[in-house]
């Protein structure tokens, strides 16, 4: 061991007497300082402009360390190119061969010197991390240490590769170029053999591209740490074998066999250590941002026994590109957070083709049969067309018509429970933690069932028109739809008793009154504590008031209107509400007077986390209710009632005369009882029925749930409604603690000072140290 340290010491002296090593260190310091101060300047500017800044520890570390990775790719080959090639070119290698040192001691000594030099480079980064800890409130040190470890492990791997390439030649430039070529090959190797299962696992593991990204992001994975042990060990072993071959003048066939054996052993170790069952991880972030939330972890723990995820891929679906054979590994990586907690999950891919019947195929491939279209698609994606089953074969396995033959995943427990996990028609496409957890939860507990009453002209969950309720309920490609957030949606009538399996009953805009028998069945459901959502409309009093009366609530005659385009209009405009005066003409492209923008009440904000968020944004964004009836509590029925949403008390009234707000003008007429005040437009009612709390919500508008109005704040209100109705069970709560490192103690002047110190003074000091050492060395 002493001989190894002695060789390392001699090599370190050679480094620090060499202008190349100092040049690398100075340029590295300058570039890292520039990156750091650029990030500092951007965040300081955002904070000065009152832009939102949060999670600054991770922002700094990710931004800086990600750039540093690119610099190491260029610097390490220059550093390692002379480790062995210089010895061979000068002939000093013969002195080493004749001395009592082994090949392993020579290689380890050389390698140890690069590791020490790497620690010096890491110390430079520690300076910037320490500076960050001073200027960032509640700096998260574990994240920074995780990132530093990732950078250092990457440097160690690069150094081992550079050392091996240096042992192959006596020309330093050739060694440097060989190192760059090897690093490039390791970066692109994961693109090869992805069509074959075993080869895919090997080449994906062997790739060094992005290998330190998880660590830089605050997540330490055993697979990555072991990679940075196995790969350097492989190249160090190859270097020792190379020296031994030169020393003993072995035949090239023998050397090649040894190289191949070492490579195969390393690949076998890599394959074994990358198996999910043998992997471990540690989330170094303070808020555990890089792993599943506790709620999701608990759901996964409940999924006991074996689990199979089968991905059904339709060649004629637009989602094919993300799940073709060569994209499988990237596809599976998106579910890594879940497979870490359920490592026994088996993943299968089933490829088929079936025309979904939505005319999309005909538009893209006019005049072609389905089989011809599949051939054209297969050729474009370089996939064997025989991979795709014909329609008759896939129908024998599973009926995918219920999923419109889209790319879909089927989760199936060994005990038989099944759940679909879908792709979505949005920018992200892939399911997030909330949707995946909801699908897993279906495997361990029956989902809440939302029943929509029909038979009286109510809104239809299969109607995709503007008035329908399809988008928020049964729209399978829609991420926020109830069916993708853990609910089942069905339509029912009151021809028979409401089943006990129904969790929530929705009565939306009935146009005809319920019969006496139907009201009796509804009363039975209410008496046993069933939850209800009742959505009314102006001019539906005859049909809806008998239902609302069960809870002591009435829809008032008339329709709410508002003045002006801003629900929070200044009180100086209230003068226009004098009796007989009409609201001023509405400017073009502004909100109509019968479009109500109610605000969330403080009481309503206490219902759920989503109601609270609506309350917090009520000054800038509100629920849109086009055509809304006011509500009134008229009788005590044993329910505790709170107002969820109410109109603005300053600039609105209940219009009792005007019904056409396009061709006519609403006028405030106190003689008919029209008064400017706050009117409830949504109420929440609760009571105890046995051991459970019965929950009812009544709104004066049904359009706010319609396809035309789904989106933005309205979608949040819909989700909040069913979150409350399901007693917080669905959607799954995937919130994390809010980051506390959100404040930067640095102004523009502080950034300028940091630039002077870190970009100018710090590299200059290193240059001065080098010049002093070089001059003293030259003087000797």
pLDDT tens per residue, range 34-71: 999 999 999 888 888 877 788 889 889 888 999 898 88
Q: Is the pLDDT of residue 684 over 90?
A: yes
Q: What stretch of H or E contains 505?
A: strand 504-508
Per-residue pLDDT reduced to its tens digit, 396-448: 999 998 988 999 999 999 888 999 999 998 888 899 999 999 999 999 999 99
Residue 208 and residue 126 in contact, taking contact as beta carbons nearer than 8 Å: no
Higher-confidence position of 621 and 353: 353
Over pLDDT 70: what percentage of the chain? 94
Whether the ω angle into residue 731 lies within 30 degrees of 0, i.e. cis, is: yes
Question: What distance in Å separates the CA atoms of residue 705 and residue 601, rounded to the nearest whole number?
Answer: 19
pLDDT at 771: 86
Question: What distance in Å separates the CA atoms of residue 105 and residue 4, rounded to the nearest whole number?
Answer: 5
Locate all alpha helices (DSSP H) within 442-590, ordered by sequence: 470-473, 516-527, 541-548
pLDDT at 434: 92
Per-residue pLDDT reduced to its tens digit, 720-754: 999 999 998 889 999 888 888 888 888 888 888 98
Residue 221 to residues 145, 279, 283, 329, Cα–Cα distance (Å): 14, 7, 9, 17
Q: Is the pLDDT of residue 485 over 80?
A: yes
pLDDT at 546: 92
pLDDT at 564: 58
pLDDT at 575: 32
Exposure string for 543-566, b = 16+ CB within 10 A, e = fewer: bbbebbebbbbbbbebbbbbbbee
Residue 362 and residue 379 in contact, taking contact as beta carbons nearer than 8 Å: no
Residue 458 and residue 508 in contact, taking contact as beta carbons nearer than 8 Å: yes
pLDDT at 567: 42
CA dihedral 763, 768, 772, 775 (to 10 degrees): 100
Q: Is the pLDDT of residue 33 over 70?
A: yes
475 pLDDT band (50/70/90 cuts)?
very high
Q: Is the pLDDT of residue 603 over 70?
A: yes
Question: What distance in Å separates the CA atoms of residue 422 and residue 427, rounded to the nearest whole number?
Answer: 14
- DSSP 8-state assignment for residue 136: B
Q: Is the pLDDT of residue 217 over 70?
A: yes
pLDDT at 664: 64
Nearest to 463 by CA among 164, 708, 778, 692: 708
- DSSP 8-state assignment for residue 390: P
Question: What distance in Å separates the CA atoms of residue 404 and residue 89, rounded to the nearest whole number?
Answer: 69
pLDDT at 234: 94
Per-residue pLDDT reduced to its tens digit, 235-246: 999 999 988 887
Per-residue pLDDT reduced to its tens digit, 96-116: 767 778 888 888 999 999 999
Per-residue pLDDT reduced to its tens digit, 648-658: 887 788 877 76
Question: What distance in Å separates the CA atoms of residue 327 and residue 298, rounded to the nearest whole number?
Answer: 30
Question: What distance in Å separates the CA atoms of residue 80 and residue 85, rounded to the nearest whole number?
Answer: 9
Residue 217 and residue 145 in contact, taking contact as beta carbons nearer than 8 Å: no
Question: What distance in Å separates the CA atoms of residue 585 and residue 568, rounded to the nearest whole number?
Answer: 18
| DSSP-derived pairing of the beta strands 504-508 and 449-453 | parallel
pLDDT at 622: 85
Residue 259 and residue 243 in contact, taking contact as beta carbons nearer than 8 Å: no
Question: What distance in Å separates the CA atoms of residue 446 and residue 315, rounded to the nearest whole number?
Answer: 33
Q: What stretch of H or E contains 686?
A: strand 680-689
| DSSP-derived pairing of the beta strands 631-633 and 553-555 | antiparallel
Question: What distance in Å separates the CA atoms of residue 465 and residue 708, rounded to the nearest whole number?
Answer: 8
- DSSP 8-state assignment for residue 367: T
Rg (C-alpha) for the chain, rounded Å, is 34
pLDDT at 154: 94
- Please report how many Cα atoms fall inside a 13 Å half-sphere around the Cα of residue 658, on the Cβ side: 22
358 pLDDT band (50/70/90 cuts)?
low
pLDDT at 48: 83
pLDDT at 153: 95
pLDDT at 576: 35
Q: Is the pLDDT of residue 577 over 50?
A: no
Nearest to 767 by CA among 7, 23, 10, 18: 23
User: Does the CA dihedral 653-659-664-669 come out positive or negative?
Assistant: negative
Residue 422 and residue 405 in contact, taking contact as beta carbons nearer than 8 Å: no
pLDDT at 198: 81
Question: What distance in Å separates the CA atoms of residue 741 and residue 56, rounded to the nearest whole number?
Answer: 6
Higher-confidence position of 318 and 128: 128
Over pLDDT 90: what percentage of the chain? 42
- Tallying the residues shown for the chain, one arrives at 780
CB proximity list for 39: less than 8 A, separation 6 or greater: 59, 60, 63, 64
Q: Residue 247's CB: how many other CB atoms inside 10 A?
A: 12
687 pLDDT band (50/70/90 cuts)?
very high
pTM of the model: 0.84
Name the one residue in this structure whose structure tokens are 């003293």: 776
What is the pLDDT of the chain when averaged over all its residues?
A: 86
Q: Is the pLDDT of residue 84 over 90?
A: no
pLDDT at 428: 86
Rounded average pLDDT over 702-708: 91
pLDDT at 394: 92
Q: Is the pLDDT of residue 566 over 50?
A: no
Q: Is the pLDDT of residue 583 over 80?
A: no
CB proximity list for 713: less than 8 A, separation 6 or greater: 614, 617, 621, 622, 623, 624
pLDDT at 492: 94
Rounded average pLDDT over 488-516: 92
Question: What distance in Å separates the CA atoms of residue 197 and residue 208, rounded to the nearest whole number?
Answer: 19
- DSSP 8-state assignment for residue 652: E
CB proximity list for 33: less than 8 A, separation 6 or greater: 128, 758, 759, 762, 763
């Amino acid at each position: 061991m002493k001989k190894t340290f002695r060789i390392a010491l001699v090599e370190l002296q050679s480094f620090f007497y060499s202008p190349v090593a100092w040049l690398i260190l100075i340029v590295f310091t300058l570039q890292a300082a520039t990156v750091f101060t650029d990030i500092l300047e951007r965040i300081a500017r955002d904070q000065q402009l009152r832009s939102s800044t949060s999670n600054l520890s991770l922002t700094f570390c990710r931004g800086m360390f990600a750039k540093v990775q690119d610099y190491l790719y260029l610097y390490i080959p220059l550093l390692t190119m002379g480790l062995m090639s210089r010895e061979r070119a000068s002939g000093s290698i013969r002195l080493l061969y004749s001395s009592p040192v082994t090949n392993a001691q020579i290689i380890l000594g050389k390698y140890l010197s690069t590791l020490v030099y790497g620690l010096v480079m890491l110390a430079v980064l520690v300076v910037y991390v320490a500076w960050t800890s001073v200027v960032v409130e509640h700096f998260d040190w574990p994240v920074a240490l995780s990132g530093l470890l990732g950078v250092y492990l990457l440097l160690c791997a690069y150094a081992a590769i550079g050392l091996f390439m240096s042992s192959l030649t006596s020309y330093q430039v050739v060694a440097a170029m060989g190192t760059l070529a090897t690093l490039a090959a390791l970066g692109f190797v994961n693109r090869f053999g992805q069509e074959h299962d075993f080869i895919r696992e090997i080449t994906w593991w062997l790739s060094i591209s992005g290998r330190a990204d998880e660590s830089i992001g605050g997540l330490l994975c055993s697979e990555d740490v072991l990679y940075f042990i196995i790969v350097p060990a492989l190249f160090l072993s190859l270097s020792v074998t190379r020296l031994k071959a030169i020393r003993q003048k072995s035949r090239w066939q023998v050397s090649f066999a040894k190289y191949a054996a070492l490579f195969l052993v390393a690949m076998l170790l890599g394959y074994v250590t990358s198996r999910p069952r043998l992997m471990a991880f540690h989330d170094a972030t303070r808020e555990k941002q890089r792993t599943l939330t506790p709620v999701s972890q608990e759901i996964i723990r409940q999924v006991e026994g074996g689990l199979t995820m089968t991905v059904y891929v339709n060649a004629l679906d637009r989602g094919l590109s993300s799940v073709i054979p060569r994209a499988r590994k990237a596809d599976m990586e998106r579910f890594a957070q879940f497979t870490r907690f359920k490592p026994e999950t088996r993943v299968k891919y089933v490829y088929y083709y079936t025309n979904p019947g939505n005319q999309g195929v005909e538009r893209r491939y006019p005049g072609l049969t389905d089989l011809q279209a599949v051939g054209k698609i297969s050729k474009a994606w370089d996939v064997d067309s025989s991979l795709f089953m014909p329609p008759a074969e896939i129908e024998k396995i599973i009926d995918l018509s219920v999923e419109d033959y889209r790319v879909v995943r089927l989760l199936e427990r060994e005990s038989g429970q099944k759940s679909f996990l879908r792709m979505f028609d949005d920018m992200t496409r892939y399911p997030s933690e909330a949707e995946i957890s909801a699908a897993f939860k279906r495997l361990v507990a029956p989902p809440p069932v939302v029943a929509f009453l029909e038979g009286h002209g109510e809104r239809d969950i299969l109607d995709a028109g503007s008035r329908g309720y399809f988008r928020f309920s049964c729209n399978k490609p829609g991420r926020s739809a109830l069916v993708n957030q853990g609910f089942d949606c069905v339509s029912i009538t009151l021809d028979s008793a409401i089943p006990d399996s129904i969790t929530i009953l929705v009565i939306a805009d009935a146009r005809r009154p319920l019969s006496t028998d139907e009201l009796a069945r509804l009363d039975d459901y209410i008496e046993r504590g069933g939850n209800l959502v009742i959505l009314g409309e102006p001019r539906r009093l005859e049909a809806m008031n008998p239902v609302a009366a069960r809870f002591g609530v009435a829809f008032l005659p008339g329709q709410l209107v508002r003045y002006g385009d801003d629900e929070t209009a200044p009180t100086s405009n209230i003068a226009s509400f004098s009796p007989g005066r009409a609201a001023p003409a509405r400017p073009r492209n502004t909100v109509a007077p019968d479009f109500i923008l109610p605000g969330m009440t403080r009481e309503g904000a206490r219902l759920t986390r989503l109601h609270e968020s609506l309350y917090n944004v009520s000054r800038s964004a509100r629920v849109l209710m086009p055509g809304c009836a006011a509500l009134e509590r008229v009788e005590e029925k044993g329910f505790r009632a709170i107002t969820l949403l109410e109109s603005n008390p300053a600039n609105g009234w209940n219009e009792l005369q005007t019904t056409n707000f396009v061709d006519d003008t609403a006028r405030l007429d106190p003689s008919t009882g029209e008064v400017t005040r706050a009117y409830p437009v949504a109420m929440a009612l609760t009571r105890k029925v046995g051991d459970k709390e019965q929950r009812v919500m009544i709104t004066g508008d049904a359009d706010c749930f319609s396809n035309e109005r789904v989106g933005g704040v309205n979608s949040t209100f819909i989700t909040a409604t069913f979150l409350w109705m399901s007693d917080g069970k669905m959607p799954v709560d995937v919130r994390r603690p809010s980051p506390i490192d959100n404040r930067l103690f640095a102004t523009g002047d502080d950034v300028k000072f940091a630039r002077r110190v870190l970009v100018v003074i710090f590299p200059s000091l290193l240059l001065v140290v080098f010049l002093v050492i070089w001059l003293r060395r030259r003087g000797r």
